[in-house]
Amino acid sequence: MATDEAVNEMDEVSKAPVEGALESIDQIELEEWYDSLEDVLHRYGPEKTQQLLVHLRERAYHRGVMMPFSATTPYKNTIPVSDQPRYPGNIDIERRIKSFIRWNAMAMVVRANKKTEKHGAVGGHISTFASSATLYEVAYNHFFHGRSADHTGDMVYFQGHASPGMYSRAFLEGRLTESHLENFRQEVPRGTGLSSYPHPWLMEDFWQFPTVSMGLGPICSIYHARFLRYMQNRGLLDTSKSKVWAFLGDGEIDEPESLGAITLASRENLDNLVWVVNCNLQRLDGPVRGNGKIIQELEGAFRGAGWNCIKVIWGSEWDPLFERDYNGKLVKRMGEIVDGQYQKYSVSEGDYIRNHFFGTDPELMELVDHLSDETLEKMRRGGHDPEKVYAAYKAATDHKGAPTVILAKTIKGYGLGEAGEGRNVAHNTKKMNLEELKQFRQRFSIPIAEDLVEKMPFYKPEEGSEEMAYLRARRDQLGGHIPSRKVTSERLDVPSLDDKLFARQLRGTEGKGEASTTSAFGAIIQGLMRHKSIGDRIVPIIPDEARTFGMESMFSSFGIYSSKGQLYEPVDRINGSLIYYKEAKDGQVLEEGINEAGAMSSFVAAGTAYSNLGMNMIPFYIYYSMFGFQRVGDLIWLAADSRVKGFLVGGTSGRTTLNGEGLQHEDGHSQLIATTVPPLVAYDPAYAYELSTIIQDGLKRMYADGEEIFYYLSVYNESYDQPAMPEGDHVIKGILKGMYKFKSTDSGEGQQHRPQLFGSGTILNEVVRAQQILKEKYGIGCDVWSVTSYSELCRDSMDAERWNLLHPTETPKKSFLMEQLAGNHGPYIAASDNVRLVPDQLRQWIPGKYTVLGTDGFGRSETRTVLRRHFEIDAECTTYATLQALAEYGSFDKQKLPGILKDLGIDADKVNPRTA
Ligand SMILES: Cc1ncc(C[n+]2csc(CCOP(=O)(O)OP(=O)(O)O)c2C)c(N)n1
Ligand SMILES: [Mg+2]
């Protein structure tokens, strides 16, 4: 509400001289307009005034007056002083606590680098937290809520480079010891030190969300906020009290992932989401927008996207100046200055600021006449003023209907003085000389004796001190420590392989038709969703390809999640048809649209619910395999760091199996990249029974046994006869370990060597065909192995080898691979729809000649038959490679090989697929 004082102020404004375009309008006319405005404001208040102005604008449009679009507001705080709430805490004590945290955060980095200097210092960052200490401390003291019995807790995405500040606070809170701080960035052995950035993989009781790969925290936070609503709307968990906070750098905002999903947040009315952008105007090398204004640019983007945007630009010291800025000249001047110049002011002395900033206009000069140069230097930016920050957080958390972004202006390296404050080198500052340390101590009143300063002791107030009591009381009241990762002890009752949903797949197609592993997967997931004990925990996530995977019936059976339900009559619901595009408030399917990064973010949110919400959820993210690892590889890496659980399902896999789509779609290398992700278990199954066995075991390992791993499954869209699961104990074990003997033919008469053929995915069928050709045409018997996972075999082999290396006098351990191949001498021939490096992982342990066929080179559109010949992985090429290998063993006549090529229809001078 406009107070009388404010109205009086406006009176002054109305009498101010008119500038610019309005000069041509009659003064009296203008006065009348101003008076009307004042009158309405006085009688009805700002809200009604706003409505009236909007109405006037609409009327003007109607009369043909085009209004210029402006998404931004003047360069001042969004919240006027009159609306600023009373600060609920003790600012003095909070300042002291914050100062100790600043000191320890700085000391931690400087000491770690000194300690490790001789061995190549370990690095670290001081300046990011120096600029954001107030932003965090206000939240720690008044907003961040821990997870407790009646509150699912706030989810806080901390800016990665600010981690020393979080460790420093945890030290005061008694969660970390001095020894932990001493070992910042010295993490071996595990548990003794502190990780560089937020890494749940490395500090599993502490960090929840990896953020340091810029842009990923922002997008994950949006989808996390939406996932909280999903849990709520599906009636699974009351998440209504939880907020998602994300602290970002202004430089980080340039990552496309940062802004790429902001409209989802407003479309979904995510008022449980608060972003705090630390606008210190600098990134690593220099200014974020030297010649522009990042805060204004972001305001325009966020307001345009429908966010509630709160600017916190100026500290309280500026308020009296604004109060006297009757004609808006100060605000206008503030709007004229670009960020590069603001950075210059942040390192300049008072007289420069006076002459350069205020000196352009005598009236502005007069505004600051009464202020000393020293005072001018110390006038804070908004992000360093707890009262302004509190006001913004309060408004953000009270806001309804839209997410909030707070654009807080700060100074990078605040308090570091010459060592980096506002300097372009601030980001990399990790050294402080004695003089700088002394200044720091003095500026923040750190109670450390001057002669001890050089040693940079960590400072913790005595137990029972006012500060410790305050710190504890605040966190106790807010539900405990943050960040804090707490894993649920809940174990799910997962279906066994005997359950009908799997048993059906184990029987195969029984000669009644053909099926692909993709369709088998579709049946399995729908069976799981119907399962009585875990059905509601399944979270199917699909970007926009359910129809491609033949899973569209899921839409109507389970509904597509939509916070708004379905406000339209779906076009495909004709004559009461049961299969249609059904959106529902409690829908189970997350249909993310053409947005693999967003879908991956949902996968992470659901797959970490067991630790972040205390409830196991089972995400299956089904996507075009080509647009997985190489498109969102960094998010998959983040998922691994997050200790995610769930299944990534690369649909339409295979360089030659997805035959028509061509170069950009045909994937032959995701299995290779999958190998590089430590907790990821990857399989490339050929048959529905293999797929079932793997999924059942995955469910058991992750949700019944509690292992913190996740899965990657290649599924294909080629239909063929699905065999029944062969008899024998070795089959299930082999499927899970990575290989089992699938089919054998008898050795021919006098056959000296027995070839061992490896096949995976759809190409196993080609290998089986090669086995037949070898037998029928050349009288050679061989064994065919189904290799379900080269990466699992490789990991097991590496582990055995490592153990043997380090225990030279003990009985050597045998890897599963060695056990399987014992007594065989090869030759070995592997064929798959992947690049050669996938089977090549095993080369060093294969006891004989090893020929690997694969799909190295760009894919292209053709029939599967032609493509498999092009890449030389079909049955004929596998047959030939086997005979050629036997020739090298001396058990086949080499001279016959050119004739065999002809016989098999293989052109020796055909194009090389690797370079084609
Ligand atoms: C994807 C990615 N690219 C590059 C980096 C390297 N990097 C680390 S910090 C930084 C600058 C950060 O600037 P800003 O976001 O403004 O944060 P500030 O420290 O200024 O708060 C860069 C480029 C990274 N961590 N992640
Ligand atoms: Mg920055």
- DSSP strand pairing (618-624 vs 647-651): parallel
Q: Distance between CA 904 and CA 303 in Å, rounded?
A: 66
738 by DSSP, 3-state: which?
coil
252 pLDDT above the threshold of 90: yes
Note the ligand closest to the C-alpha atom of 258: 1
The alpha carbon of 102 and the centre of ligand 1 are apart by a number of angstroms equal to 20
**Whose structure tokens read 């998440």?**
239
Our answer on whether the CB atom of 343 is closer than 6 Å to any ligand 1 atom is no
For residue 75, with 0-12 CB atoms within 10 Å meaning exposed, 13-18 middle and 19 or more buried, which class applies?
buried
Contact call for residues 138 and 390 (beta carbons, < 8 A): yes
Our answer on whether the CB atom of 251 is closer than 6 Å to any ligand 1 atom is yes
Our answer on whether the CB atom of 383 is closer than 6 Å to any ligand 1 atom is no
- C-alpha 360, offset from chain centre: 47
The protein residue with its alpha carbon nearest to ligand 1, atom 20, reads 283
Q: What angle do CA 400, 307, 604 make, to 5 degrees?
A: 90
Ligand 1 atom nearest 128 alpha carbon: 19
14 pLDDT above the threshold of 80: no
Q: Distance between CA 266 and CA 121 in Å, rounded?
A: 44
The alpha carbon of 311 and the centre of ligand 1 are apart by a number of angstroms equal to 22
The alpha carbon of 585 and the centre of ligand 1 are apart by a number of angstroms equal to 38
What's 700's DSSP letter?
A: I
11 pLDDT above the threshold of 60: no
Note the ligand closest to the C-alpha atom of 279: 2
Q: What is the per-residue pLDDT across 760-777, written as a single tens digit (0 to 9) for each?
A: 999 999 999 999 999 999
Nearest one of 338, 363, 368 to 353, comparing CA atoms = 368
Q: What is the per-residue pLDDT across 292-344, written as a single tens digit (0 to 9) for each?
A: 999 999 999 999 999 999 999 999 999 999 999 988 999 999 999 999 999 99
The amino acid sitting at 628 is: G
| Mean pLDDT computed over 472-481 | 97
Tokens coding 411: 């100074």
pLDDT > 70: percent of the chain? 98
* Confidence band for 447, pLDDT divided at 50, 70 and 90: very high
Our answer on whether the CB atom of 289 is closer than 6 Å to any ligand 1 atom is no
Tokens coding 793: 């075999």
CA separation (Å) from 44 to 35, 183, 498? Answer: 14, 61, 72
Strands (E), 138-190: 155-157
174 phi, psi to nearest 5 deg: 85, 15
Our answer on whether the CB atom of 854 is closer than 6 Å to any ligand 1 atom is no
851 by DSSP, 3-state: which?
strand
Note the ligand closest to the C-alpha atom of 247: 1
Looking from the CA of 495 toward its CB, the CA atoms found within 13 Å total 25
pLDDT of residue 23: 78
Nearest one of 109, 418, 420, 426 to 284, comparing CA atoms = 426
Note the ligand closest to the C-alpha atom of 285: 1
Contact call for residues 543 and 502 (beta carbons, < 8 A): no
| Mean pLDDT computed over 7-26 | 57
Give the annotated binding-site residues.
250, 280, 282
407 by DSSP, 3-state: which?
strand
893 pLDDT above the threshold of 60: yes
Tokens coding 594: 């053409």
Which of 252, 285, 289, 412, when mutated, tests ligand 1's pocket best, judged by the most ligand atoms within 8 Å of its CB?
252
Our answer on whether the CB atom of 250 is closer than 6 Å to any ligand 1 atom is yes
Which of 214, 216, 279, 281, when mutated, tests ligand 1's pocket best, judged by the most ligand atoms within 8 Å of its CB?
214
What is the helix, strand, coil percentage profile of the chain, to 5?
45, 10, 45
Q: Distance between CA 29 and CA 258 in Å, rounded?
A: 47
Give the annotated binding-site residues for Mg(2+).
250, 280, 282
405 by DSSP, 3-state: which?
strand
- CATH number given to 95-315+381-477: 3.40.50.970
Q: Distance between CA 471 and CA 141 in Å, rounded?
A: 7
10 pLDDT above the threshold of 70: no
Looking from the CA of 61 toward its CB, the CA atoms found within 13 Å total 9
The protein residue with its alpha carbon nearest to ligand 1, atom 25, reads 213
Q: What is the per-residue pLDDT across 530-541, written as a single tens digit (0 to 9) for each?
A: 999 999 999 999
Q: Distance between CA 258 and CA 265 in Å, rounded?
A: 12
Contact call for residues 605 and 220 (beta carbons, < 8 A): yes
Q: What is the DSSP string of 582-609?
A: -EETT--BEE--S-HHHHHHHHHHHHTH
Q: Distance between CA 134 and CA 381 in Å, rounded?
A: 11
Our answer on whether the CB atom of 690 is closer than 6 Å to any ligand 1 atom is no
Mind spelling out the 3-state secondary structure of 273-315? EEEEEEECCECCCCECCCCCCHHHHHHHHHHHCCCEEEEECEC
The alpha carbon of 124 and the centre of ligand 2 are apart by a number of angstroms equal to 16
Ligand 1 atom nearest 127 alpha carbon: 19
The alpha carbon of 283 and the centre of ligand 2 are apart by a number of angstroms equal to 4
Our answer on whether the CB atom of 214 is closer than 6 Å to any ligand 1 atom is yes
The alpha carbon of 424 and the centre of ligand 1 are apart by a number of angstroms equal to 13
Note the ligand closest to the C-alpha atom of 162: 1
Nearest one of 509, 510, 544, 543 to 523, comparing CA atoms = 509
432 by DSSP, 3-state: which?
coil
755 pLDDT above the threshold of 60: yes
The alpha carbon of 384 and the centre of ligand 2 are apart by a number of angstroms equal to 14
Nearest one of 211, 235, 214, 212 to 224, comparing CA atoms = 211
pLDDT of residue 5: 47
Note the ligand closest to the C-alpha atom of 633: 1
Tokens coding 878: 């596998």
Q: Distance between CA 223 and CA 230 in Å, rounded?
A: 10
The alpha carbon of 406 and the centre of ligand 2 are apart by a number of angstroms equal to 14
Instruction: Pick the more confident residue, 643 or 3.
Output: 643
Q: What is the per-residue pLDDT across 687-701, written as a single tens digit (0 to 9) for each?
A: 999 999 999 999 999
* Confidence band for 12, pLDDT divided at 50, 70 and 90: very low
Which of 158, 283, 410, 423, when mutated, tests ligand 1's pocket best, judged by the most ligand atoms within 8 Å of its CB?
283
Our answer on whether the CB atom of 212 is closer than 6 Å to any ligand 1 atom is yes
Our answer on whether the CB atom of 412 is closer than 6 Å to any ligand 1 atom is yes
Nearest one of 886, 884, 663 to 755, comparing CA atoms = 886
pLDDT > 90: percent of the chain? 91
The protein residue with its alpha carbon nearest to ligand 1, atom 3, reads 214
| Mean pLDDT computed over 57-75 | 89
pLDDT of residue 383: 98
pLDDT, averaged across the chain: 95
Our answer on whether the CB atom of 249 is closer than 6 Å to any ligand 1 atom is yes
Q: What is the per-residue pLDDT across 814-842, written as a single tens digit (0 to 9) for each?
A: 999 999 999 999 999 999 999 999 999 99
For 741-904, CATH number out of 2.40.30.10, 3.40.50.920, 3.40.50.1100, 1.10.2020.10 equals 3.40.50.920
15 pLDDT above the threshold of 80: no
- Kindly compute the dihedral angle of the four CA atoms of residues 759, 761, 766, 772, in this order, to the nearest 10 degrees: 60
- DSSP strand pairing (710-714 vs 647-651): parallel
Neighbouring C-beta atoms of residue 500, cutoff 10 Å: 10
Q: Distance between CA 74 and CA 322 in Å, rounded?
A: 12
Strand order of the sheet with strand 404-409?
A: 155-157, 244-249, 273-279, 404-409, 308-312
Q: Distance between CA 765 and CA 575 in Å, rounded?
A: 43
pLDDT of residue 24: 84
- DSSP strand pairing (538-542 vs 590-591): parallel
* Confidence band for 70, pLDDT divided at 50, 70 and 90: confident
Domain 500-714 has CATH 3.40.50.970: yes
Neighbouring C-beta atoms of residue 15, cutoff 10 Å: 11
Q: Distance between CA 632 and CA 1 in Å, rounded?
A: 49
Tokens coding 79: 């919240």
Ligand 1 atom nearest 212 alpha carbon: 25
| Mean pLDDT computed over 482-508 | 97
Our answer on whether the CB atom of 271 is closer than 6 Å to any ligand 1 atom is no
The least confident of 286-295, 493-502, 575-584, 603-612 is 575-584
The protein residue with its alpha carbon nearest to ligand 1, atom 7, reads 284
400 pLDDT above the threshold of 80: yes
pLDDT of residue 418: 87
**Whose structure tokens read 């670290």?**
124
Our answer on whether the CB atom of 128 is closer than 6 Å to any ligand 1 atom is yes
577 pLDDT above the threshold of 90: no
* Confidence band for 578, pLDDT divided at 50, 70 and 90: confident
Looking from the CA of 131 toward its CB, the CA atoms found within 13 Å total 33
Our answer on whether the CB atom of 280 is closer than 6 Å to any ligand 1 atom is yes
Our answer on whether the CB atom of 53 is closer than 6 Å to any ligand 1 atom is no
Note the ligand closest to the C-alpha atom of 339: 2
Q: Distance between CA 868 and CA 832 in Å, rounded?
A: 10
**Radius of gyration in angstroms for the set of CA atoms belonging to the chain, rounded to a whole number:** 33
Ligand 1 atom nearest 634 alpha carbon: 1
Contact call for residues 631 and 555 (beta carbons, < 8 A): no
The alpha carbon of 676 and the centre of ligand 2 are apart by a number of angstroms equal to 32
The protein residue with its alpha carbon nearest to ligand 1, atom 10, reads 284
H helix intervals, 531-657: 553-558, 596-607, 609-612, 629-641
596 phi, psi to nearest 5 deg: -65, -35
Tokens coding 637: 């890496």
Tokens coding 503: 């048993």
The secondary structure element, H or E, covering residue 69 is: none
Q: What is the per-residue pLDDT across 705-714, written as a single tens digit (0 to 9) for each?
A: 999 999 999 9
